[in-house]
């Protein structure tokens, strides 16, 4: 399935139905008079956030959404039927923006949340409503109010508890494959991840959502590499997991590069709690202590957790640390009263923390 996190669509609510011009004509009934009913109301445009969707790809193939018009009024004082609302299903975490992308009109952050974006036009008056003592046989009627219309942008910001960031080829895809059932593409070259990946981590009878975004390089804020457009998907995360390639030339420089891009992006990403993990630590041997010491010398780094995403060594310790930053129930869409599922056995791990210092 293709991933799409932005789409521009056209919306138009339904117009109201026209009022009827009708006169009562029945045998043996004298002076029947007007009996034209009013028109029905047009359909509204309603957005609803639903679970089970994590892309806006459906809006690539359909960009125009028009609600039905209300039915016209009829004789015998019958009012036209109102049109059904047009409900547009969007993923949880979708923002609705104005056409210029400057104003956020709505932010749908939980499943079942709905919003009426455009109201349908009211139905027109039939000639019965114009009857008066001085106007016994009116022929006036209203055609019904027109619907509202507008262009809007949809922007998806995935809901996740933990955001995974780092330079390209730091092993983020390998890590998310290790701790979730995600089948992310893994390759020995940069930018194997071209779109955000979501996975559910189950650990110690708890679960949380982990989001992996494409790697950041120097100048990403100016469009270098894939750029920083996918950073919006981790704006809602409670904590960031910064994965650093231990097999790189300078892990400290890699840390500073990503931090600089987070600061330039803004939206409070640089101020979020961060856990720093040194990946591929099983291949470092004697250099492990020096690399960890170099990272601890960086501003804001209080702890470095060495891990090996490929072998799983150190991953238990890292997940334990992540749980300290998350509330007891962290599934972003978990309904009240529904227990969290956990396919793995819980309890204490036999693995000892892997750290030389």
Alpha helices in 143-241 (DSSP H): 172-179
Specify the DSSP class assigned to residue 143: -
Could you identify the residue written with the tokens 């780094």? 301
Average pLDDT over residues 316-341: 66
Task: Check the annotation: does 282 bind a ligand.
Answer: yes
Pick the CATH number of 162-323 from 3.50.50.60, 1.10.3720.10, 3.40.50.300, 3.40.640.10: 3.40.50.300
- Are the beta carbons of 179 and 323 closer than 8 angstroms? no
pLDDT for 9 beyond 90: yes
Helices (H) then strands (E): counts for the chain: 5, 14
Task: Check the annotation: does 214 bind a ligand.
Answer: yes
pLDDT for 333 beyond 50: no
pLDDT for 188 beyond 70: no
Task: Check the annotation: does 176 bind a ligand.
Answer: no
Q: What residue spans in the chain does CATH classification 3.40.50.300 cover? A: 162-323
Pick the range with the lowest mean pLDDT from 92-96, 136-140, 246-250.
246-250
Task: Check the annotation: does 286 bind a ligand.
Answer: no
3 state SS of 323: helix
User: What is the predicted pLDDT for the residue at 329?
Assistant: 58
3 state SS of 231: helix
- 76-90, 154-168, 216-230: which has the highest mean pLDDT? 76-90
What distance in Å separates the CA atoms of residue 37 and residue 20, rounded to the nearest whole number? 6
What distance in Å separates the CA atoms of residue 240 and residue 284, rounded to the nearest whole number? 24
User: What is the predicted pLDDT for the residue at 338?
Assistant: 40
Higher pLDDT pick, 187 / 231:
231
Higher pLDDT pick, 340 / 96:
96
Task: Check the annotation: does 356 bind a ligand.
Answer: no
Structure-token pair, residue 18: 């026209």
Task: Check the annotation: does 339 bind a ligand.
Answer: no
Task: Check the annotation: does 167 bind a ligand.
Answer: yes
Average pLDDT over residues 77-100: 94
Average pLDDT over residues 250-266: 85
Q: What residue spans in the chain does CATH classification 2.70.210.12 cover? A: 1-156
Say what the pTM is. Answer: 0.73
Task: Check the annotation: does 308 bind a ligand.
Answer: yes
Q: For 126-148, write each residue's pLDDT tens digit.
A: 999 999 999 989 999 999 999 99
- Are the beta carbons of 164 and 305 closer than 8 angstroms? no
Task: Check the annotation: does 15 bind a ligand.
Answer: no
What is the 3-state composition of the chain as percent helix, strand, coil, each rounded to the nearest 5? 20, 25, 60
| 62 φψ region: left (φ > 0), alpha (ψ -120 to 50), beta (else) | beta
Task: Check the annotation: does 172 bind a ligand.
Answer: yes
Task: Check the annotation: does 349 bind a ligand.
Answer: no
Q: Using pLDDT thresholds of 50, 70 and 90, give the confidence band for residue 37.
A: very high
Task: Check the annotation: does 132 bind a ligand.
Answer: no
Q: For 270-324, write each residue's pLDDT tens digit.
A: 888 888 888 888 777 666 777 788 888 887 788 888 888 888 888 898 999 899 8
Average pLDDT over residues 111-116: 93
pLDDT for 341 beyond 50: no
Task: Check the annotation: does 127 bind a ligand.
Answer: no
Task: Check the annotation: does 253 bind a ligand.
Answer: no
Task: Check the annotation: does 170 bind a ligand.
Answer: yes
User: What is the predicted pLDDT for the residue at 143?
Assistant: 94
- Are the beta carbons of 152 and 11 closer than 8 angstroms? yes
Task: Check the annotation: does 332 bind a ligand.
Answer: no
* Cα four-point dihedral sign 245, 236, 107, 2: positive
Q: Tell me yes or no: is domain 1-156 CATH 2.40.110.10.
A: no
What distance in Å separates the CA atoms of residue 18 and residue 16, rounded to the nearest whole number? 7
pLDDT for 356 beyond 70: no
Task: Check the annotation: does 194 bind a ligand.
Answer: yes
Alpha helices in 207-314 (DSSP H): 251-265, 287-296
């Amino acid at each position: 399935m293709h991933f799409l996190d932005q789409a521009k669509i056209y919306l138009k609510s339904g117009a109201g139905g026209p009022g009827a011009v009708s006169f009562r004509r029945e045998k043996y009934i004298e002076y029947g008079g007007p009996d034209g009913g009013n028109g029905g109301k047009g359909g509204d445009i309603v957005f609803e956030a639903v679970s089970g969707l994590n892309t806006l790809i459906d809006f690539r193939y359909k960009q125009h959404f028009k609600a039905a018009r209300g039915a016209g009024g009829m004789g015998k004082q019958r009012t036209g039927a109102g049109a059904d609302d047009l409900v547009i299903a969007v993923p949880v975490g979708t923002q609705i923006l104005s056409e210029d992308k400057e104003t956020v009109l709505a932010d749908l952050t939980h499943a079942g949340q709905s919003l009426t974006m455009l109201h349908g036009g009211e139905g027109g008056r039939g000639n019965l409503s114009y009857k008066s003592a001085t106007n016994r046989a009116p022929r006036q009627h209203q055609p019904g109010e027109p619907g509202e219309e507008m262009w809007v942008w949809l922007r998806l910001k995935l809901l996740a508890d933990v955001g995974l960031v780092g330079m390209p080829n730091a092993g983020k895809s390998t890590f998310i494959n290790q701790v979730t059932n995600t089948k992310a593409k893994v390759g020995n070259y940069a930018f194997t991840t071209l779109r955000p990946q979501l996975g559910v981590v189950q650990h110690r009878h708890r679960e949380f959502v982990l989001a992996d975004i494409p790697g950041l390089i120097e100048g990403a804020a100016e469009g270098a590499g894939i750029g920083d457009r996918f950073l919006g998907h981790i704006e809602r995360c409670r904590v960031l997991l910064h994965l650093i390639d231990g097999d790189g030339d300078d892990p400290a420089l890699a840390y500073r590069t990503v931090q600089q891009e987070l600061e330039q992006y803004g939206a409070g990403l640089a101020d979020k709690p961060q856990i720093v993990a040194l990946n591929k630590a099983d291949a470092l041997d004697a250099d492990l202590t020096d690399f960890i010491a170099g990272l601890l010398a960086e501003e804001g780094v209080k702890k470095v957790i060495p891990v090996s995403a490929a072998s799983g060594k150190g991953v238990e310790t890292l997940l334990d640390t992540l749980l300290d930053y998350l509330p007891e129930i962290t599934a972003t869409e978990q309904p009240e009263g529904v227990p969290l599922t956990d396919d793995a056995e819980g309890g204490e791990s036999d693995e000892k923390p892997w750290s030389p210092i």
